[in-house]
Structure 1
Amino acid sequence: MSGGFVPNLLPGLAARRARTGLGLVTFALPLLFFVALSIGAPEFLGFANLANVNSQITALLIVSLGQLLVALSAGVDLSVGSMLSLTSAILVGVDPGLAVPLALLAGLAVGLANGIGVAVFGVHPLVMTLAMMTFLQGLALLVSPVPGGDVPDWLEAVVRFDLAGLPGAFFWCLAVVAGMALLLHRTRFGLRIFALGANAESAALNGIAVVAPQIACYVICSLFAVLAGMFLSARVATGDPTMGMPFALESVTAIALGGVQLAGGIGSVTGVVFGVLTLGLMTNGMNLVGISPFIRAATTGVLLLLAISLQRRRFIGV
């Protein structure tokens, strides 16, 4: 009986692994960075440094989880960085009582615009979100032309706290990871996203709604960018209208390193976590050994190229 059970189980495990996109590189890169830093930088394993790494990667993790949702639907959102910047500008540029509601409203509007442009009017995701990125960056500079200003005190308290010796960033990470995992794997919406990302035409023929879930992916992605903007602004206790500039490239790199297929339908929250860890450990290591931060952007580009090159050609988007 047990001999028949194992062969029957293997196809299911293989199918699940194929849907997550997890591979050797996803786990090997962060492990390699961790071992190398543990040996080459003794201060790396200190609690203070590890807590700092956690705080540094939280905003990227939030943005990347939103990017994951769009990528699973066979899209991409390059406007996430500018949405983060606009959120930071709004937090310090308007009345503190209205700042968070206005930022969330802006995120909702941007997500709807991106989603409708892609799903209803057929604009290519790269074109739609690149145009939105440019618009939002200009709007952020209009709202708050220079860095500075004060973030609402209550928001700082929600971000900069310690509980049981752990930094608040840890609990932010835990909350967004658990929330996205539940959304993707415990709701009908999540199942529909995997289906339409794998083959939208086939999903539609089987009676699965395509337009509304696709729009919802862009809305949620944009709102996650707003959440990341709130966290990062509160963490540094000030606003910056250019704060989000690196996040478009880094979020795409993180999900690609995590095995997420940019053509849609394949990816996992676990993969995104490991992809973000790879970038976070790389950044922290460069800081510890004194490598110029300008090298970081170039290295991120190389990692993105590596991750895309490892994907089979038929899986790469149009």
Structure 2
Amino acid sequence: MNVVRARRFGRSGLGAVSIGLPIVIFVALSIQADNFLAGQNIANVNSQVTALLIVALGQLFVALTGGIDISVGSVISLCSALIVSVDPVLAVPVALATGLAMGLINGAGVAYLGVHPLIMTLGTMTFGQGMALLFLSGAGGTVPSELVLMARSTFLGLPASFFWCAAILTLATLLLGWTRFGLRVYAIGGGEQSAALSGIDVRFIRLACYVICSVAGALAAIYLTGRIATGDPTMGRPFSLDSVTAIALGGVLLSGGTGSVAAALLGTITLGLMTNGMNLLGVSPFFREAITGVLLLVAVSLQRRKVIGI
């Protein structure tokens, strides 16, 4: 069974489903949707998936250690509310500090206090969403012009979203594939006890992964708030489910130890193409949420029960 699983996933998590699904969706939309291949629509897809990609990559780090963070959506909402509520000069520092603080709380609870990741991040999710609505009761506020420029401008004919994606993908790839930290993340996911016996500070690495995930949420909030040029205390609501669905569709095992930046990217592209296709075909956005839930169930079901820890 282990040999078959290794051939199916490998450490990258890539497989026939994770690679083939976005290709199938792309081909289907090219045939069914008239404007799908238009340059403007492709640019729109890039802009739409940028925030999800940032969050999915953060979720990847947590998942590789066998954890999950469902509070990242509320981090986005809270940071967006804060960006338009504080002095414009402090908007970005406050957003990043908020992400750091939420990550430290989640990581400390899971790694040092032994709270189950679902329970811990459910608590911080509720707290974060409540604080977001306390700072900003509804969409509005003034976004610093610099953030709008960072999210909407073009350079060399390419939208800003392209450079956001390139930067976050490069950073995540370097961190996971070219540092000792990345090797330790995989080691913990592969076997926590073995990692500890090898001298790895398991609790600190777990803490760091939750910090990375929450800071990724803060970065996504900065991008999204600049893109729509307004604050929104409910902006992050779909991202908790979507980020988990994206990495699962990409082949990342939720038990830890298996997954990659490429897997998270492919899963994100799959969801992005699905959303864009539904918009072009006039499908209700509420139906899109239902489909996302089904995709998560399917993606998890494709992972062997012993592998996902059930």
Flag whether TM exceeds 0.5 (same fold). Answer: yes
> TM (normalized to structure 1)?
0.94
Aligned match of 2:76? 84
Matches within 5 A, 1:156-175: 156-175=148-167
TM-score w.r.t. length of structure 2: 0.97
CA separation in 2, counterparts of 1:274 and 1:220?
20
Counterpart position of 1:307: 299
Q: Is the 8 A contact 1:74 1:317 kept in 2?
A: no
Does the residue aligned with 1:204 lie in a helix, a strand or coil?
A: helix
User: Which residues of 2 match residues 3-82 of structure 1 at below 5 A?
Assistant: 18-82=10-74
| Residues 9, 258 of structure 2: 8 Å contact kept | no
- The one of 237, 240, 244 equivalent to 2:232 is 240
| Structure 1 residue 263 corresponds to structure 2 residue 271 | no
In the comparison of the two structures, how many residue pairs are matched?
A: 306
CA RMSD in angstroms, aligned pairs only: 1.3
- Mark the CA change 1:119 to 1:207 in structure 2 (over 3 Å): closer, same or farther: same
Q: Deviations over 1:107-135 (max 9, x none)?
A: 11110000000000000000000110000
4+ runs deviating over 2 angstroms = 14-17
1:145 positional shift: 1.0
Deviation by residue 1:262-311 (Cα, 9 ceiling, x = unmatched):
00010010011110000000000000010111100000001001100000
1:190 and 2:182 matched: yes
Any unmatched runs of 5+ in structure 1?
1-10
1:198 Cα deviation after fit: 1.1
Greater C-alpha radius of gyration:
1
State how far apart, in whole Å, the 1-side matches of 2:19 and 2:242 are. Answer: 18
Distance in 2, Cα, partners of 1:55 & 1:106: 24
1:138 equivalent to 2:130? Answer yes
| Partner of residue 209, structure 2 | 217
Q: Which runs of 5+ in 2 are unaligned?
A: none
Partner amino acid for 2:128? Answer: L
Matches of 2:42 and 2:7 in 1, distance apart? 35
Identity across the alignment (%): 61
Query: Do the aligned partners of 1:91 and 1:239 also contact (CA within 8 Å) in 2?
Result: yes
Cα distance 1:16–1:24, how it changes in 2: closer, same or farther (>3 A)?
Answer: closer
* CA offsets 1:161-194 (integer angstroms, 9 cap, x no match): 1112111101100110111000000000000000
Letter in 2 for 1:208: I
1:317 deviates by: 3.6
8 Å Cα contact 1:118/1:128 also seen in 2: yes
Distance 1:171 1:317 in 2: 37
- 1:199 paired residue number: 191
1:178 aligns with 2:170: yes
Task: Quote the offset at 1:27 in angstroms.
Answer: 1.0
How far apart, in 2, do the equivalents of 1:49 and 1:142 lie? Answer: 36
Q: CA 1:286/1:58 → structure 2, altered by over 3 Å: closer, same or farther?
A: same
- Write the letter of the residue equivalent to 1:242: T
